[in-house]
Structure 1
Amino acid sequence: MRVLIVSGGKQPKEATIKKYIDKDTYIISADSGSDALYKHNIMPNLILGDFDSISDEVLKYYEEKNCKINRFKAEKDFTDTEAAVLEAIKLKPKELVLLGATGTRLDHTLANLGLLYKCKKARIEAVIVDENNKVSIHSESFEFNEKEGQTFSLQAFGENVRNLSINGAKYPLHNYDLSFGDPRTVSNECTKNPVKITFDSGIILLIKSND
């Protein structure tokens, strides 16, 4: 099963949303993420949040459709997106996709990257997707397939990534210790499949970019 979460950041396009919806998808919208679903006539399984940013029209519509709704107080020690992720984890999905998790609020974007790690600890493969990027988190060596020329970057998440090597890319790397904020692994390109990323310890973000 896949859980699709649409959060309140930059609204995804209709094609981006529908790309991740099939008969086995459970849809959660966090606050104004519901506006994006309403715009494209998509019914969520669950709406949640403190509802400080959802439009009144959209909330009323989904209430009348008897959509499941979890309402929180405005003063709370968690974000609406985190609440959505915690609900998703309860469902024990194979995959979790976060849309609307990036945008103008850098603080929320950074917090949402941390939610990828929360999912990783729960043994759920999670990605943040927007119109330009796809972000995943990895705690052990991995490989991936992409078209030639696909841009990707790596970034240490927290602690250093030890003995990092990159093979199958335009700029190979061998046994490098990558620290947070190090630009050495920004804007690489796929040259053959699979691209192999190996490291001994640490946690790494993989960012695939389209621009």
Structure 2
Amino acid sequence: MKIVIVSGGKPPREQNLKKYIDNETFIISADSGSNILYKYNIIPDIILGDFDSIDREVINYFREKKCKIISYPTEKNFTDTEAALKEAIKMSPDSILLFGCTGSRLDHTFANLGLLYRCLISNIEAYIIDENNTISLHNEAFKIEGKRGDLFSLQAFGSVVKGLSISKAKYELNNYDLKFGDPRTVSNELMDGSVFITFHKGILLLIKSKD
């Protein structure tokens, strides 16, 4: 089961969002993310939030469409995106894709990176996706696929990543201890075929980017 969450950050382009949605996709919108789905003629299964930034026309429309509506008070100790993620995790999906989770509010962006961690410890594949980046967290060896010249960066998420090795990329690395903020693993490139990432301990933040 795949769940798509659309939140209230920088809106995804219609084409970029719809390519991840099919008839089997479960869709949750968090507050003003509902405005984007309404604009793109996408019907969510759940809309939720404190509804301080959703258009009244939109919420009435989705109510008529029999969408499940979950309302929270404006003053609360969690974000609307966090609430959406909690609803998603309850359903034990195979993957969760988060849109509208980056933008000008860096505080929200950093908080949303923490939501990827919640998915990781719940053994759910999860990605934050915007027009320029696909972001994921990994606690074991993985491979990166794509075409020659695709960009990717790695960062330690929290503690040191021990024994990091990067093979088959433009810039290879062998048994390196990567600390948070170390720029050595920023802006690498795919060559011909998959890139293989291995490490002994820690959590890696992977950002696949395009300009």
- TM-score range for the pair, normalised by the shorter chain length: over 0.9
What does residue 106 of structure 1 align with?
Answer: 106
Deviations 1:12-71 (A, max 9, x none): 011111111112100000000001100011000000001111112211211222211000
Deviations 1:124-155 (A, max 9, x none): 00000000000010001111211000000001
Q: Does 1:58 align with 2:58?
A: yes
Moved over 4 A (4+): none
SS at match of 2:152: strand
Q: Write out aligned runs for 1:17-166 (5 A).
A: 17-166=17-166
Structure 1 residue ranges without an equivalent (≥5)? none
SS at match of 1:112: helix
* Aligned-residue CA RMSD (Å): 0.8
What does residue 177 of structure 2 align with?
Answer: 177
Q: Which amino acid aligns with 1:174?
A: N
SS at match of 1:128: strand
TM-score of the aligned structures, taking structure 1 as reference length: 0.98
Q: Which amino acid aligns with 1:119?
A: C
TM-score of the aligned structures, taking structure 2 as reference length: 0.98
C-alpha distance in 2 between matches for 1:152 and 1:66: 41
Q: Which amino acid aligns with 2:30?
A: A
Which segment is superposed worse, 57-66 or 118-127? 57-66
Q: Which amino acid aligns with 1:164?
A: L
Structure 2 residue ranges without an equivalent (≥5)? none
Aligned residues: 211
C-alpha distance in 1 between matches for 2:132 and 2:145: 18
